Structure 1
Amino acid sequence: MRKLFLAFLVGIFLLTSASVWAGKPYKIGALFSITGPTSFIGEPERNTLEMLVEEINKAGGINGHPIKLVVYDTEGEETNAVKKVTKLIIQDKVLAIIGPSRTGTTLAVVPFVERYKVPLISCAAGIKIVEPVKPWVFKTAQSDRLAVKKIYEYCRQNGIKKVGIITVSNGFGQSGREQLKALAPEYGIEIVSDELYGPKDSDMTPQLTRIRAKNPDAVICWGTNPGPATVAKNMKQLGMKQQLFMSHGVASKRFIALAGDAAEGIILPAGKILVADQLPDSDPQKKLLLDYIAKYKARYGEEPSTFGGHAYDAFLLLKTALEKAGADKAKIREALENVKGIVGIHGIFNMSPTDHNGLDEKTAFVLIRIENGNWKLMK
C-alpha cells in the first residue's frame, strides 16, 4: 500500500511539473567581469540576473517556458570575452546574450553576435556600442554622451568655462574623451588640458600637475575604479581646489571607499538608484528602484550598485521581447528594437531602428554630490 501511495505522489509531481513547464527552456547567456579589476561592475550584474531568473522561474517562467541561464566570467578581458561569446553562441546555442560589463569587452564581441545574428544587450556605457546602430546590438547603460551633457549643463549654469580632462586609455575612457571634446563648444566650454592615464596606473600626479599649470575652473575625470580614486587623492595631495567631476563609471560605494576623504564634494552624473529614497514620490521609477534595492539587500546582504541595475534593465527588456517573440532570434531582435515605455532602473526605455539605447537625458541621469561619505541628490 505504501509503494502505491508513493507511486501516486510521484505521478502527481510529474504531472504538476509538466503543467508548470509546458514549454522548452529559453536559454540565455550572460558575460560579466565577475573577477578581475572590474569585478565591482560584473559581480552585482551577475547577482541581479541570477536573482531575477530565479524569481521568474518560480512564477512559471515566460509563457510557460523556464529560463536557463548560462553565465561566463570575462575577467574584464577582451580576449576572454571573445572566447566566451563564441562558446555561448556555438556550443550553448543561446537565444540572446546579456553583457558584457565593459565597453572594451562589448566592442570585442560585437562582430561575433552580428555575424551569427544573436541579440546582445550590453551593460556597458560607451556610445560606440550602439552608434552607428548595429542591428543585433542594444545596451541599457546610459551613454557617455548623456553623462557629458549633464556635467556640461551644470558647468554652463555655474560659470565654469575652462576645464581640464583626464581620461583612462581604454574603450570607456576613449569614448568619454571623444564626447567631452565634441560637446564642449556647444556649451561654451574650453578644454585647456587633455591628459590620459593607463588602466593600471597608480599615480596621476604628473598629469594633474600639468592640468594645474593651465589653471582650469574644473577637472573632469573619466574612468572606472581604481584610477579615478587615485585622481581624487592626487588632486587633494597637490592642493588643487578646482571642482572635480567624475563619470558614471564610479557610481558605486567602492569608489568612495577607495578615495576616502578625497571623495568629498565630487560631483557625478549617475542613475537614480543611488538616491532612490531621496526621489519625490511622483517619480515613475521610484517604486521599482526601492523594490529592487529591498530584494537585492534581502538576498545578498548589501544594497545593489548602479551596475546591477544595468543587468536588471537588460533582463527586463529581454523578458518583454521573449513574451512577444518566443524562441526566434530574429523576432527577439525586432521586439527589442520596438520596445516602448518600459520603466527601468536607469530610465524609461523607448527603442527604435535608429536608437538601440532608448534613454534620454531627462530620465537617465541625475547629478549627485558626495557628502559625508554618501550620495546626495543635487536639486
Structure 2
Amino acid sequence: MTTIKDGEYTATIYKLIKDGQYVEAIHILNGQLQKHTKSRAALSLLGYCYYHIQDFTNSAECYEQLTQLHPEVEEYKVYYAQSLYKAGAYPEATKASFVLDNPSSHIKMIKLQACIKYCEEDYSAAKSLLEQLPQEDPDYVYNTGCLLYQDGKYEEACKKFTSALQVLGYVPALSYNIALCFYSVKNYAQALKYIGEIIERGIREHPELSVGMTTEGIDVHSVGNTLVLHHTALIEAFNLKAAIEYQLKNSKGSQEALTDMPPRSEEELDPVTLHNQALLNMDTKPSEGFEKLAFLLQQPSFPPVTFGNLLLLYCKHEYFDLAADVLAENAHLTYKFLTPYMYEFLDALLTCQTAPEEAFRKFDEMNGKLTEQLRKLAKQVPY
C-alpha cells in the first residue's frame, strides 16, 4: 500500500486497519480526503476499509475514482468490478468487467462474469462462462457444484464441493455448502456435523466475534458485518442449524441457534436471519414478525420462502384481507415463489371468506387431484 502524504495520520491509520478497526480508519481517511480530494493513498485505503466492512457501494465509489485517476493500474479496475458485484449492481459490474479483458485479468473477468450471471439466475450463461475455465481450477469445481445444487442435483453438488475442499483445504463456505446439500436431502446428522466444525473453528479462531455470548445473557456490542465475519460462514451455519432444529420440532434449539450467532444490531441483519427471527418469534411477537416479513418483501432480494410464509401466517392469524392484498400487490411473485398447489390452496382459503360455496368447489377439485396422485403412487409401490 502507498503512504499518505500527511505523515501524522499514517501510523494511526495503518494500526487501525491492522487491528480491524475499519470504521475508525474510515473516519480519519474521509477527513484526509477533504484536504486532498484526489489522494491516491487515501482513496485506496478507504476503498479497502469499506470493502472489509462490506459497504460495497462506497467501496465501489472509491475504486471508480481511482480507475479514472490512475487508469494504468489494473488492480483498481478489478476491485471496482468486484465491489459493484458485491453491492448487487450486476449490470454495472458486468460493464466494468469487460474492461478486464486482457491477458493478466482474463480469468478473473470470466470468474466474475460467471458469478454475476449466477446471481442474476441466468444459470445457462453462468455454465457457459465456467466452461471457459480450466477444469482443474478449484473455482471451476466449486462453482460447478453451485450450479448442480441449483439444479436440484444435491448429491452431485456435494461431490464437487468435497473435491474442492480436498484441493483448497478447509474453507468455511465450502463446508457450509456441503452441509446445505445434506440438509436438502434431509440428512440432518451429516449436515450438523459440518455445521459443528464451522462453529467450533469460528469460536477458536475468532473469539472477538462473541459466539454464544448473547444466549448466555452477556451484554455484548455488535461485531458488525465485517469481511472476517463473512469468511467464517458463522451466520450461514447458525441459520442452517436453526432451520434443522425447526424441522426436528426443537423450538428451543432453533431459538438458541439464532441467539448464539455473532451479535449484530437489527439494521445489520442479513435477510435470512431477519426471516428466521420473524418465523421463530411469531407465536410470541406476531406484530414484529409480520413487520419483518413485509419489510423483506420490499427488498431487492429475500429468501424465496418469505412470500409464501407471509401469506400462510396472515391466514393462520386470520388476517385474510391482508393476505389478499399482498397476493394482489405481488402477482409477479406468484409463479416464481409459490407452487401450483400452494397457490390453489391460498386462493381457495381466501375465497372462503366471501364465497364459501365456490371455495368448497375449489377445495373439492384439489382433493380430487391429490387423490388421483395417491392412486398413481400406490400403483408404483411393489407388493
- Calculate the TM-score normalised by the size of structure 1: 0.23
Structure having the higher Rg: 2
- Calculate the TM-score normalised by the size of structure 2: 0.23
Q: Which is helix-richer, 1 or 2?
A: 2
Q: Which is strand-richer, 1 or 2?
A: 1
Which protein has greater RCO, CA pairs closer than 8 Å, 6+ apart? 1
